[in-house]
C-alpha cells in the first residue's frame, strides 16, 4: 500500500550502501543500515500495539537511533511527536495526555520520573539513549531488518508539533504527509540540493528546522549529513572541510564569527549557508560576508507552515529580509482589523496559503477557525511588508512571541510562574535583542507593598518549572508597569526601555 511520506523520503534509498550519516566519532552509517534499523524499530512499535494514526512521542537525545525512530514511525503509519529535551516532567505531562500518545520514548535516566506520565494515559514507556542503548534498542535486537510499510494517504497526519500560544493551552499543530513532502521537495529544488551534497547538521531534531527542513531535504536529494549531537565550534570546524552546506540558527553564525579559525579559506569550498528560526542581525550578515565571502541565505517559516519564503539561491540575498514566497506558496499582507490585502510597502499581518500550511490545531476547532481562514490562509501573527522587489521584511509580531536561539518562547507561560512567587505583585516578560541568541528573555517585576523579592530566588523558581531556554536571563524591578488607557501592559515601551540591556559590549554568551 502507498505511504507517500515514506515512499518519498525513505523508500528510494532501500539497499543503498552509500553514506547517509557521518558521525562525530568518524564512523559512517549507510542508507541501507539506517533503514534496516528503522524497520527493526517499526517492529517494536507494532508489538506495542501502534497502528496507523497513533501518536509516538519522543523526548530523546539526538542520535542516529533517534532519527531512525522518526523513520520507523513513518513506516508504521503513526504520527511523530518530537519533544524538546529541555522540557520538564510537568510540561511533558500535558503533551502526552493531550495527544493521547500510544508510546512515549525517553532517555533511560528519565524513565522513573516519566513512568507516571505514560501510565496516566496508558502509553507504553520505552527508552533510548544516544549510544544505542535502552529498552527500545534491546527489543529491536533480532527483529527483521524489513517491515511491511503501513498504508497512508497524502492528507493523513504525519507529525504533531506543539506550539504554545500567548495565553491558554499549548496547541498541537497537525502536519500532514503532503505538508512535509511539498516543503522538502520545494526547498531541495530552490536551494539546489543534490546527492553530492554533504550537509553539516548541528541542529536539534525535535524542531521543524532540524527534522523537517534539514533532514528531509537531505533525504529528498539523496545526499548525506555530518550528524553532530549539538553545535560545538570545534566539531563544526572539524567537519566543515568535508561539507558543502550548513543550516543553522543565528547563534551558530555569531559563534563561528567569534572563532579566529573560521576563515575565508575554511569556508571557501562551501556552496551554501542557510539561517532561520530567528531573525539574523544585519551586522551578522555583513561580518559573515566580509569574513568568508559567503552571503547567508535567510528564510522564513513557522511550526504550522514549515517554510514560506526564502532569499534566492541565485540573485540578491538581502539582509533584513526573508526573500520572496517559495514556489507554490502564497503570502499576503493584510489589515489586521479588516483582513483586506495591503499594497507593497505597507505593514500588516502576514498570511500564508499553500501545500505547506498545516491542517489545524489538534482537537482545537475554535482556535483553528480563528487562525486558519476558510480560504486556506493562515494568520501567522507576524507583522511584515513587501519591499519594491517583492522581498518580505518581518517587522514585528502581533503576538508576544520571543524567539531565542531558534526556540519559540511565550511570555505568558513564564509570567504565570513568576506571578505566583512570594512578594511578586505582577510581572511582564519581554524579549530584548541579544547579539548571540537574536533575542533573550527579560522579566520585569513589580513587588508587593513592603516586599523585596530577590532576583536569584525568582530565577531558581523558574529553573524548577521551566525548560532552560525559557528561563529569564535577567530580572528587573520597577514600581509600576506601563499601561495604556485600557489598562493593557505596554510591552513595546518595556522593550524600548531595556532594548540595550545586552548590547554587544555587555552581552554574555
- Residue from 349, 365, 276, 356 nearest 317 by CA: 276
For 151-168, give the DSSP string.
P--TTSEEEEEEE--SSS
- Note the Cα 30 to chain centre separation in Å: 26
| Sheet with 157-163, side-by-side order of all strands | 124-127, 103-106, 55-59, 79-82, 157-163, 171-176, 360-361
Q: What is the band of 433 on the pLDDT scale with cuts at 50, 70, 90?
A: very high
Domain 402-498 belongs to what architecture? 2-Layer Sandwich (3.30)
**C-alpha span between 390 and 283 (Å, rounded):** 22
**What digits encode the pLDDT tens for the residues 56-113?**
999 999 999 999 999 999 999 999 999 999 898 988 999 999 999 999 999 999 999 9
At residue 167, the pLDDT reads 45
Vertex 469 angle, CA 464 and 473, to 5°: 85
Q: Under CATH, what is the fold of the domain 4-19+28-152?
A: Rossmann fold (3.40.50)
**C-alpha span between 364 and 324 (Å, rounded):** 31
**C-alpha span between 288 and 295 (Å, rounded):** 7
Query: What CATH code would you report for 200-397?
Result: 3.40.50.12780
- For β-strands 198-201 and 224-227, DSSP reports them as parallel
DSSP code of 175? E
**What digits encode the pLDDT tens for the residues 256-294?**
999 999 999 999 999 999 998 877 878 889 999 999 999
For the chain, domain boundaries:
4-19+28-152, 200-397, 402-498
Q: What is the pTM of this model?
A: 0.83
User: SS3 for 130?
Assistant: coil
The C-alpha cell that represents 414 in the structure block:
513564564
Give residue 380's region: left, alpha or beta (phi > 0; psi -120 to 50): alpha
Element (H, E) at 36: helix 31-47
- Same-fold call for 200-397 versus 402-498: no
At residue 473, the pLDDT reads 95
At residue 165, the pLDDT reads 46
At residue 398, the pLDDT reads 67
User: How many C-beta neighbours within 10 Å does residue 121 have?
Assistant: 16
Mean pLDDT of the region 298-305: 95
**What digits encode the pLDDT tens for the residues 195-245?**
999 999 999 999 899 999 999 999 999 999 999 999 999 999 999 999 999
Amino acid at each position: 500500500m502507498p505511504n507517500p511520506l515514506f515512499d518519498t523520503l525513505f523508500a528510494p534509498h532501500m539497499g543503498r550502501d552509500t553514506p547517509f550519516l557521518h558521525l562525530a566519532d568518524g564512523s559512517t552509517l549507510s542508507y541501507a543500515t539506517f533503514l534496516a534499523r528503522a524497520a527493526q524499530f517499526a517492529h517494536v512499535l507494532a508489538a506495542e500495539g501502534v497502528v496507523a494514526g497513533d501518536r509516538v512521542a519522543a523526548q530523546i537525545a539526538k542520535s542516529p537511533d533517534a532519527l531512525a525512530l522518526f523513520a520507523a514511525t513513518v513506516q508504521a503509519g503513526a504520527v511523530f511527536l518530537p519533544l524538546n529535551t529541555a522540557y520538564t516532567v510537568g510540561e511533558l505531562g500535558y503533551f502526552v495526555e493531550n495527544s493521547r500518545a500510544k508510546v512515549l520514548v525517553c532517555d533511560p535516566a528519565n524513565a522513573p520520573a516519566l513512568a507516571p506520565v505514560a501510565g496516566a494515559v496508558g502509553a507504553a514507556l520505552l527508552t533510548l539513549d544516544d549510544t544505542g542503548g535502552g529498552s527500545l534498542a534491546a527489543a529491536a535486537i533480532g527483529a527483521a531488518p524489513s517491515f511491511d510499510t503501513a498504508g497512508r494517504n497524502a492528507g493523513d497526519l504525519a507529525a504533531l508539533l506543539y506550539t504554545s500560544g500567548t495565553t491558554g493551552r499549548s496547541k498541537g499543530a497537525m502536519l500532514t504527509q503532503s505538508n512535509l513532502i511539498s516543503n522538502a521537495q520545494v526547498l531541495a529544488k530552490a536551494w539546489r540540493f543534490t546527492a553530492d551534497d554533504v550537509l553539516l547538521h548541528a541542529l536539534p531534531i525535535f524542531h521543524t528546522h532540524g527534522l523537517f527542513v534539514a533532514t528531509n531535504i537531505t533525504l529528498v536529494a539523496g545526499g548525506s549529513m555530518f550528524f553532530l549531537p549539538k553545535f560545538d565550534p570545534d566539531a563544526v570546524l572539524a567537519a566543515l572541510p568535508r561539507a558543502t552546506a550548513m543550516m543553522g540558527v543565528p547563534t551558530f553564525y555569531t559563534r563561528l564569527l567569534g572563532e579566529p579559525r573560521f576563515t575565508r579559506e575554511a569556508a571557501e569550498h562551501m556552496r551554501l549557508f542557510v539561517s532561520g528560526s530567528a531573525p539574523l542581525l544585519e551586522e551578522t550578515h555583513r561580518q559573515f560576508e566580509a569574513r568568508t565571502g559567503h552571503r547567508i541565505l535567510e528564510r522564513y517559516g513557522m511550526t504550522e507552515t514549515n517554510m514560506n519564503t526564502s532569499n534566492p539561491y541565485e540573485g540578491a540575498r538581502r539582509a533584513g529580509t526573508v526573500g520572496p514566497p517559495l514556489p507554490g506558496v502564497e503570502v499576503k499582507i493584510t489589515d489586521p482589523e479588516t483582513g483586506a490585502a495591503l499594497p507593497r510597502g505597507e505593514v500588516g499581518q502576514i498570511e500564508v496559503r499553500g501545500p505547506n500550511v498545516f491542517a489545524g490545531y489538534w482537537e482545537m476547532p475554535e482556535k483553528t477557525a480563528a487562525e486558519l481562514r476558510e480560504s486556506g490562509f493562515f494568520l501567522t501573527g507576524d507583522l511584515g511588508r513587501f519591499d519594491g522587489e517583492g522581498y518580505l521584511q518581518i517587522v514585528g509580531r502581533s503576538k508576544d512571541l520571543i524567539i531565542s536561539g531558534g526556540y519559540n518562547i511565550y511570555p505568558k507561560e513564564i509570567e504565570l510562574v513568576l506571578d505566583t512567587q512570594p512578594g511578586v505583585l505582577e510581572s511582564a516578560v519581554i524579549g530584548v535583542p541579544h547579539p548571540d541568541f537574536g533575542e533573550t528573555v527579560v522579566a520585569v517585576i513589580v513587588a508587593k507593598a513592603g516586599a523585596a523579592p530577590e532576583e536569584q530566588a525568582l530565577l531558581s523558581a523558574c529553573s524548577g518549572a521551566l525548560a532552560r531556554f525559557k528561563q529569564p536571563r535577567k530580572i528587573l524591578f520597577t514600581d509600576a508597569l506601563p499601561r495604556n488607557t485600557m489598562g493593557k501592559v505596554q510591552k513595546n515601551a518595556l522593550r524600548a526601555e531595556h532594548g540595550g540591556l545586552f548590547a554587544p559590549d555587555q552581552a554574555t554568551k
